Amino acid sequence: MSLSLVSGTGHGLRVRVSQHQPMPLEGEFTCEPGELMALVGPSGAGKTSMLRALAGLMRPSSASITVGDEVWCDTEARIHLAPQERHVGLVFQNYALMPHLSALEDVSLSLLHLPLRERKARARHWLALVRITDEQQARKPSALSGGQQQRVAVARALAREPRLLLLDEPFSAVDQMSRQGLYELLAELRRDLRIPIVLVTHDLVEARQLADSVVVMDAGRVLQQGHPAQVYRSPRNARVADLMGVQNRFVGRWLGSLSEADSTERMGWLEWLSTDGVTSGPRLRVRDKGRLAPGQMVTWVVQGDGLHIGTGEGVDSNAATRGFVAIDAKVTEVRNLGETSLATAGILGVHGASFRLIRSGPLRRHLEEGQTIRVQVDCDWVHVMPTKSA
């Protein structure tokens, strides 16, 4: 597959937006050429509004939007390019195909600046790239499946040879099997598309599977940008942890820094508290970033990779000296999810706190309802956030 789309000279997408009316929209982010960035957040977070601002369909009160060496919006300089001047490819959730046109005619419609013969040749080229056969190209939308309609919509967006590709929840209206096929198609196209790609999605699994970076939004504000795994492991605050679906989130009190002459990392003590903040559990020796005061209330998270059941998952008898803390818990619920199992285990000695454990393969045998298990917490995976930032 060979595509001619390039982002031009300079950097990729650079965005800074700030407005309060008619709707709040605040934050900044970047997306490099050839990178797919996912905008994630709940309904009403401002994801589609941000997409509209990028496409030129909405004029923010204060903004700077550049793609490569082109300035699309600069409110201070009174620059605001119209949508047709921005060379944006848009793919919508509901496909937005013309019901009276064939797939070939629909894609050709975006090439009206070309002679008719060249228009159809280009349209056939892009439809073939998204695996729409010659026979399917002659069909109207009503005679195509949802997945095929979305492929036509992608071909139409790419036919304009855009400088920026915007995908507004493009896969949510198709079935799971078609969605996987569209994921594979997008992955193939990205290898040759040297343009920034912005995907709006509420599906965290989709974002983690497809995106090079995620931008977490809530109530119109950009809260954090980073690689999906990095944001999931180290959310900026408790709200980001919620929006990223972090399951194991707890409360605690920062006890202060540790003075260790033989340590290359700055470490500190974290006291694990019950949900009511009254009773305390064990102390955890964790990384100290120097941002917390002794006695400060905190929220902390630990990714599932940092939780090991018993000694069957590679935790040896010297685990305590390597930053592991053993916690007893009672399994209260086990749900089988195909090839994996999800268990909830109430933590003994820490009132109201529970582990959420996902296991697959032979490790599932440790998860039986009513069973008491010993969970080794790897403190290297613990991330601490000040509660006031929530």
Q: For residue 28, what are the domain limits?
A: 13-87+161-243
Whether 34 shows a pLDDT value over 70: the answer reads yes
Q: 313 and 173: one domain?
A: no
234: its two tokens: 């180290």
What pLDDT, on the 0 to 100 scale, is given for residue 320? Answer: 43
Whether 10 shows a pLDDT value over 60: the answer reads no
Assess if residue 324 is contained within a domain.
yes
What pLDDT, on the 0 to 100 scale, is given for residue 387? Answer: 80
Assess if residue 133 is contained within a domain.
no
Assess if residue 148 is contained within a domain.
no
The model's pTM: 0.84
What pLDDT, on the 0 to 100 scale, is given for residue 361? Answer: 78
Choosing from 226, 243, 260, the residue where a domain stops is: 243
Whether 243 shows a pLDDT value over 80: the answer reads yes
What pLDDT, on the 0 to 100 scale, is given for residue 171? Answer: 83
Q: For the chain, give me the number of helices (H) and strands (E)?
A: 10, 21
Q: How confident is the model at residue 8 (pLDDT cuts 50, 70, 90)?
A: very low
Q: 265 and 367: one domain?
A: yes
Q: How confident is the model at residue 311 (pLDDT cuts 50, 70, 90)?
A: very low
Q: Kindly report the length of the chain.
A: 390
Domain count, the chain: 2
Mean pLDDT of the 154-159 span: 91
Assess if residue 319 is contained within a domain.
yes
For residue 38, the surrounding DSSP H or E stretch is strand 36-40
Assess if residue 3 is contained within a domain.
no
Q: 217 and 344: one domain?
A: no
Q: 83 and 198: one domain?
A: yes
Q: Residue 231 — left, alpha, or beta (φ > 0 → left; ψ -120 to 50 → alpha)?
A: alpha
Whether 354 shows a pLDDT value over 60: the answer reads yes
Q: 210 and 179: one domain?
A: yes
Q: 235 and 254: one domain?
A: no
Choosing from 243, 277, 312, the residue where a domain stops is: 243
Can you list the positions of beta strands (E) in 111-177? 164-168
Q: 337 and 277: one domain?
A: yes
CA distances for 138 relative to 63, 95, 103, 112, 114, angstroms:
43, 17, 6, 19, 20
Q: 205 and 221: one domain?
A: yes
Choosing from 215, 243, 271, the residue where a domain stops is: 243
Q: 292 and 378: one domain?
A: yes
Q: How confident is the model at residue 277 (pLDDT cuts 50, 70, 90)?
A: confident
Q: 279 and 359: one domain?
A: yes
N-terminal to C-terminal alpha carbon distance within the chain: 46
